[in-house]
Amino acid sequence: MNIILMGPPGAGKGTQSEKILEYCSIPHISTGDMFREAIKNKTPLGLEAQNYITKGLLVPDEVTIGLVKERLSKDDCKNGYLLDGFPRTIPQAEALQVLAKEISRPVELVINIEADKDELVKRISGRRVCPQCGNSYHLQFKLPKTDGICDACGSELIQRKDDTIESLNVRLDAYENQTKPLIDFYANLGLCKSVNGLKSIPDVFNDIQKLLDEVK
């Protein structure tokens, strides 16, 4: 399956990715996770991306598209992919159309997770993440089994540096102006399906599962 997960920051893309991957084993390509890994390792990509990410701005298209191009050309993507947080701009979506064709894996389904600003603020302010495996938790909505520790790998959970209210406001603007137009882009291709992200984590997954089953 060749799938894209879309939605504003905090809508639940990472959380639902974890569940989708248990259901269909395809590579998970999260540009946010890839940038954070590059920042941790202080690579040239990380140093460039860091300035944008801390401010809540999108990393420039050339950089992001180059990163995804390299990742999609790896062998494991011959069986499909789950793109999480890419594309986020029209030029990225256009580039993906070309890349996906090159690997004979055209996009089959775009899942758009919807949530309003009040909910996104609550989710982002209580989000805690695992710096090791990228899993997401929440102080109220998704507690780990042991306080402050990742269930999956035992690492100590942290708060993302860009999960501040200031950065969230910039990210929401970027979403409105640059990413939201993708809903129409993919709707015109007959690929975009929206789910109500305000439901509980299992209920959102239930709705996503139905969409996956239609494509499978």
* Strands 81-84, 28-30: pairing kind: parallel
CB of 129 to Zn ion, least distance (A): 9
Among 3, 127, 186, 208, binds ligand ADP (CB under 6 A): 127
Among 2, 3, 4, 32, binds ligand ADP (CB under 6 A): 32
What are the structure tokens assigned to 39, written together?
Answer: 């920042």
Which of 19, 33, 24 is closest to 142 using CA atoms?
19
- Out of 160, 180, 193, 199, the active site residue is 160
> By CB under 6 A, is residue 71 in contact with ligand ADP?
no
CB of 147 to ligand ADP, least distance (A): 15
CB-based contact 96:87 (threshold 8 Å): yes
Which of 89, 82, 87, 67 is closest to 14 using CA atoms?
82
Which of 195, 213, 198, 202 is closest to 5 using CA atoms?
195
Stretch that binds Zn ion, among 45-53, 95-103, 124-132, 199-207 (CB under 5 A): 124-132
Stretch that binds ligand ADP, among 28-36, 69-77, 103-111, 145-153 (CB under 6 A): 28-36
Among 20, 86, 192, 195, binds ligand ADP (CB under 6 A): 86
Query: Using CB under 6 A as the criterion, which residues of the chain lie in contact with ligand ADP when the complex forms?
Result: 7, 9-15, 31-32, 35, 52-53, 56-59, 64, 85-88, 92, 123, 126-127, 136-138, 141-142, 171, 200-201, 204
> Catalytic positions, please?
13, 88, 127, 160, 171
